Amino acid sequence: MLFKQQALLRQKLFVLGSLAIGSVLYLVARVGTLDRLQPICPIDSRQPPPEPEQIPLRTLQFKRGLLHELRKGNATKEQIRLHNLVQQLPRAIIIGVRKGGTRALLEMLNLHPAVVKASQEIHFFDNDQNYARGIDWYRGKMPFSFPHQITIEKSPAYFITEEVPERIFKMNSSIKLLIIVREPTTRAVSDYTQVLEGKERKNKTYHKFEKLAIDSSTCEVNTKYKAVRTSIYTKHLERWLKYFPVEQFHIVDGDRLITDPLPELQLVERFLNLPSRISQYNLYFNATRGFYCLRFNIVFNKCLAGSKGRIHPEVDPSVVTKLQKFFHPFNQKFYQITGRTFNWP
């Protein structure tokens, strides 16, 4: 009897053990086959992907390791020769606007396997000395890439510099132009904050924002103040439109890029005719930073530098209202021209 009970117990234990081992083996097999770069959330199915494989992305994905080295600017001479890597002129430029979120946009687009970023602001078209060095100098500043990748650079000064549209047009009249904007008063305060921080670093004193933004003799908005002028987006855009049709521009909502970057990035992917590859997996909210950070893969992620996302000084609410009223008609015109409307006051 005792022997029979023991045998029954052994049998039960054997069955349970087999089940447990089976489950563990199944899980291991599943995890092993999962592609860790798969997005956590499916990409919005309402957006039809653009024509696939204008860029052979599959080839690129096999070369992820090399891509990573490319992104860090570490491709070796041997790799450059073996993989036919080239330095290409940009096919798209983030031309501005300063403090609109230009760095975040460039870094986030660089998550796309078909995009390679020029890490530094090159200032080729807005700086006469650099421009005089010629187009080969500019190309030499570009990162190595596979021939079917697109290179993107950003220099926010381009947007507001008189000579730049004509110079870019001469290089490539069909180039794609990205402009990232924020609510104009917030952008002006952000611009001021950056300058203020620079002064403080050098132990220099600086005026209050209110003093710079308002002309004390008229009590009106001081249109000579650069931070104000830069936020009159329509004035600058109109200069660009003398050279490029409006279809060649894409306006990015810099305020939404802060709070919900993925939809903005998907719009850019479409504008650049790239298959949708940036996913929610690539973007995670970092509560300490208070911003979205970037996840390239299971081991490599990064947040933007601390100079992005500064705390702005308090501004007198009456000055804020005055500025908002001042920008209002320019904003309306900007919406009209670009076809993109924002909820700016």
Q: Which of 257, 268, 274, 319 binds ligand A3P (CB under 6 A)?
A: 257
Taking CB under 6 A as the rule, does residue 226 contact ligand A3P?
no
184 counts as binding ligand A3P under rule CB under 6 A: no
Q: Does 295 bind ligand A3P (CB under 6 A)?
A: no
240 binds ligand A3P (CB under 6 A): no
The sheet that has 291-295: what strands, in order across it? 283-286, 291-295, 301-302
| Token reading at 298 | 């299971």
- Is residue 310 part of an annotated ligand binding site? yes
99 is catalytic: yes
CB 95 to ligand A3P: min, Å: 11
Buried b / exposed e across 121-146, counting CB within 10 Å, b at 16+? bbbbbbeeebbeeeeeebeebbbbbb
Q: Is 236 in the site for ligand A3P (CB under 6 A)?
A: no
Binding flag, residue 102, ligand A3P (CB under 6 A): yes
How far is Cα 317 from Cα 272, in angstroms, rounded to an integer?
40
Residue 302 interacts with ligand A3P (CB under 6 A): yes or no = no
Q: Whose Cβ is closer to ligand A3P: residue 50's or residue 309's?
A: 309
Total binding residues toward ligand A3P, as defined by CB under 6 A: 17
Q: Which of 63, 99, 117, 199 is catalytic?
A: 99
- Shortest distance (Å) from residue 205 CB to ligand A3P: 21
Q: Which of 104, 118, 251, 315 binds ligand A3P (CB under 6 A)?
A: 104
30 assigned ligand-binding residue: no
Residue 237 near ligand A3P by CB under 6 A = no
309 annotated as ligand-binding? yes
| Residue 86 vs 157, nearer CB to ligand A3P | 157
- Binding piece for ligand A3P, criterion CB under 6 A, among 5-13, 96-104, 240-248, 273-281: 96-104
Q: Which two tokens stand for residue 326?
A: 């001042």
Amino acid at 189: V
Q: Using only C-alpha atoms, what is the Rg of the chain?
A: 26
Does position 72 interact with ligand A3P (CB under 6 A)? The reply is no
176 binds ligand A3P, rule: CB under 6 A: no
Told to check if 256 binds ligand A3P by CB under 6 A, we report no
- Residues linked to residue 115 through DSSP beta bridges, in sequence order: 150
Q: Between 175 and 258, name the residue whose CB sits nearer to ligand A3P.
A: 258
Q: What is the set of active-site residues?
A: 99
Binding residues: 99-103, 182, 190, 292, 308-312
Instruction: Point out which residues bind ligand A3P (CB under 6 A).
Output: 98-104, 156, 190, 257-258, 291-292, 304, 308-310
